[in-house]
Chain A
Amino acid sequence: MITVGIDIGSLSTKSAVLKDKQEVLAYDVIYTGGNNRQSAQTTFRNVLDKAGLTEDQVDVVVTTGYGRENVPFSNKNFSEITCHAKGMYFLNPEIRTILDIGGQDSKAIQLDDDGNVLNFLMNDKCAAGCGRFLDIIARALNVQLEEMGEISLASTSAARISSMCSVFAETEVVSLVAVGTPAPDIVKGVHDSIATRSIALLKSVGIREPLGMSGGVAKNIGIINSLQEKLKMKVHVTDYPQVTGAIGAAYLG
């Protein structure tokens, strides 16, 4: 049985193909852009190409994410919370708490032993603490988003980013650059600030170990380090952090 999950997020659209709910055959990530129906269609085609399959061979398409109800070829849809939970359960059934940091929101989810959601909390009001925040700071520092994790490893003394708003934090970063603060210290400061916000979210929902992280931001080693330092516990990252929701959607198919 072939199931496809498509996760239409605010910044990127992700897809994954599962075979018999056991094996990830392929996955794909593209920018969402202004037309989420179109991006769902594009990533669907891409992922089938990568898996060497045709549309006829697909049994079920499940959508999730903000644009989940807007895809004509979807057979069913679920919220990202359910899909991230199932995706994480599929990828690492040991995990009992998930921190998901996406482009424009972050979530803390507590799971039971079967991967069902016990409780969750979302921050979807403010970009500070999300992927978009890193994006803005990378631009202000003129570095690549993907390099930020590595850059922060060279920090000797993290700068303190006091602002809780990404727009004002950008101003703060520009001021730090102006007084000669080294880039690694600024980036480390930004990571610490995201970690602090995420921990508040996690603690409100309650942390049951092991803790896993999903979402594109989980690929940033600097964030993982900041979280581990502050929480004093291991943060597990799977092989497919960015497509956890899409995998979960396919798993629910």
Chain B
Amino acid sequence: MILTREFKLIDGNDRKLQARKMRENLTSYNMDNYIEPSFPKTARYRSLFNAYYITECFKEQTKVAYVGEVFPNELLFAFGFISLNFESISTLFSQSEAIDMCLRLTEENYLPRDLCSSVRAAYGAALANCLPRPDMIIINNHLCDGLSKLGFQFSKIYDTVYSTFNVPLQETDESVAYLAEQFQHVLQEIEQATGMAYDDARFRQVIALSNEAKDYFLKTIDIAKKVHIPGLQRELYEIMAVNCWGMKEMVKICRTLYDETQEKLAAGETAPRMKRMLWVGLAPDQSHEMVQYLEHKIELVYWTTYWEGNLMLLDSGQTLETMARRSISYLWNSVRMREQTAYVCDENEIDCIILVNTWGCRNMMGLGQAVREMALLKKIKFLSVDVDIRDKNNYSFSQVKNRIDAFLEIL
């Protein structure tokens, strides 16, 4: 038994204990496939920042919120919160042998195996009691119902405040206003939960930092679109995965990447143009066998990096509205998917697309069809593979490799 009948953790809800358990479980971190970073300064700042972030989460006085992917973290940073999202927790564990333990715990605790492994891995990590106790959980109930239920379950386990908001699928003036209003409400809930007052000056500062970091990021993206600098697409993706827009460290990371890219350009450290493959869907860490195999043969461009919802700057006059627009445009709907993927393909001169289906992900609904249709129209070669980057029971590299080989031969 891990939970009591009231869904409380049997061995206690204490950050010191949770930090110890995290250390114990992550000792088996997989370094076999370690890759020398192509942008050493950026990679170093990024790793240091990640380490600092995780360490801070376990301190008693730190305010921690668990959020879904589309929540504007800037709102939390303005209150001095640290935010963790469920997908990142799952990704962190998937780089370690501890992932098997997390998934096993969920099965032993009656979670069905056909749920996506993002949800299962994060839930398993909570069951192992190695996550920092959250002070708040803020999650959207649409489009991913799995995540919103996971958030609710977490709120029971950790006996904490649960705040939810609804992200409309379509972007209209009404839907933007509706979501902005909900963000306003979330701000009030944060105030109530923490006893802290909203500080507008601090908020403006966070927005300025978010935009400053994005600005460097966008300038680097412009270079990446035009030239092939080995490792750049991956580094852009890694930064996107950090997802701490609004923190000052993010500005430093993005500026460093921009500077390093400029240095490489000046030194002529570009590589001949390879065929470009757009990776659509959830991507694993760089040590994953599939990423390593592909990166030797092709230039991988990650769709997440170029997704409009990830690149929007915030309008300081209408901040909540632009945040709402950003959150709505982040959601995968088939029409948006087709249009945006087409745009990314044109901008990056994409030669082929690999659609990576995640086992059990309801969000993939409509996605495959939409991207495939677009690829057919544009005469871009398209491959769809089923990959589970967390649950090894749902994926076999030899099968996927077989398809990839055949696909590369027809390019």
Interface residues of A, Cβ cutoff 8 Å to B? 66, 78-82, 116-122, 124-125
Residue among A119, A120, A125 with most chain B CB within 10 A:
A119
B402 and A117 contact, CB distance less than 8 A: no
Q: Are B386 and A81 in contact (CB under 8 A)?
A: no
Contact A79 B386 (CB under 8 A): no
**Are B406 and A80 interface neighbours, CB within 8 A?**
yes
Asked whether B402 lies within 8 Å of A124 as measured between CB atoms, the reply is: yes
- Assess whether A125 is in contact with B409, with CB atoms less than 8 Å apart: no
B398 within 8 A of A: yes
Instruction: Give the contacting residue for A82; candidates B384, B386, B409; CB below 8 A.
Output: B409
Contact call A81/B409, Cβ cutoff below 8 A: yes
Return the chain A residue nearest B383 by Cβ: A120
Instruction: Give B216 Cβ to nearest chain A Cβ, in Å.
Output: 40
Interface SS majority for chain B:
helix
Interface of A is mostly: mixed
Task: Give B385's nearest chain A residue, CB to CB.
Answer: A122
Residues of B within 8 A of A78 (CB): 409
Query: Known contacts A79-B405, A125-B386; is A117 also within 8 Å of B410 by CB?
Result: yes
The interface on chain B, measured as residues whose beta carbon lies within 8 A of the other chain's beta carbons, has a size of: 11
Q: How far is the CB of A221 from chain B (nearest CB, A)?
A: 29
Determine how close the nearest CB of chain A comes to the CB of B410; give it in whole angstroms.
4
Known interface pairs A124-B399, A125-B399; A117-B406 also in contact (CB < 8 Å): yes
Q: Does B44 reach chain A (CB closer than 8 Å)?
A: no
With a CB–CB cut-off of 8 A, which chain A residues contact B398? 66
Residues of B close to A117: CB separation below 8 A: 406, 409-410
Contact B399 A79 (CB under 8 A): no
| Binary interface encoding of chain B residues 351-390 relative to chain A, with 1 for a CB under 8 A from any of its CBs, else 0 | 0000000000000000000000000000000101010000
B403 at the interface (CB under 8 A from A): yes
Interface-central residue, A81, A116, A118, by most chain B CB under 10 Å: A81
Please indicate the chain B residues that have their CB under 8 angstroms from the CB of A121 in the complex.
384
Q: Which residues of A contact B410 (CB under 8 A)?
A: 81-82, 116-118, 120
B386 contacts A122, C-beta separation under 8 Å = no
Closest to A77 in B: B405
CA of A82 to CA of B406, assembled, Å: 7
Nearest CB to that of B408 among chain A residues?
Answer: A79
Please indicate the chain B residues that have their CB under 8 angstroms from the CB of A81 in the complex.
406, 409-410
User: Which residues of B sit under 8 angstroms from A124, Cβ to Cβ?
Assistant: 399, 402-403
Give the complex CA separation of A190 and B88 in angstroms: 45
B402: A residues at CB distance < 8 A: 66, 79-80, 122, 124
18 inter-chain pairs at a CB distance below 8 angstroms, sorted by A residue, are: A66-B398, A78-B409, A79-B405, A79-B406, A80-B406, A81-B406, A81-B409, A81-B410, A82-B410, A117-B410, A119-B382, A120-B406, A120-B410, A121-B384, A122-B403, A122-B406, A124-B399, A125-B386
Q: Give Cα A130 to B406, complex, Å.
A: 20
Q: Taking the nearest CB of chain A, how far is it from the CB of B289, in angstroms?
A: 15
A119 to B382, CA, bound (A): 8
Shortest CB–CB separation between residue A104 and chain B, in angstroms? 10
**Contact residues in B for A125 (Cβ distance below 8 Å):** 386, 399
A118-B386 Cα distance, complex, nearest whole Å: 21
The 3 tightest CB contacts between A and B, nearest first, are A81-B406, A79-B406, A117-B410
Give bound CA distance, A81 to B386, whole Å.
18
Q: With the chains together, A183 CA to B369 CA distance in Å?
A: 40
In the complex, A136→B410 CA distance in Å? 34
Q: Which A residue's beta carbon lies closest to that of B399?
A: A124
Closest B residue to A78 by beta carbon equals B409
Instruction: A119-B382, A122-B402 are known; give 8 further A-B pairs, CB within 8 A.
Output: A79-B406, A80-B406, A81-B410, A82-B409, A117-B409, A117-B410, A121-B384, A124-B403
Nearest CB in chain B to that of A81: its residue? B406
- Minimum distance in angstroms from B56 CB to a CB of chain A: 42
Q: Provide the bound-state CA to CA distance between A66 and B397, in Å.
A: 12
Least distance between B377 CB and chain A CB atoms (Å): 14
Measured CB to CB, the closest approach of chain B to A171, in angstroms, equals 21
Contacts of A120 in B (CB 8 A): 406, 410
When distances are taken between beta carbons in the complex, the residues of chain B under 8 Å from A119 are 382
CB distance from A74 to the nearest CB of B (A): 14
Rounded to whole angstroms, the CA-CA distance of A116 and B402 in the bound complex is 18
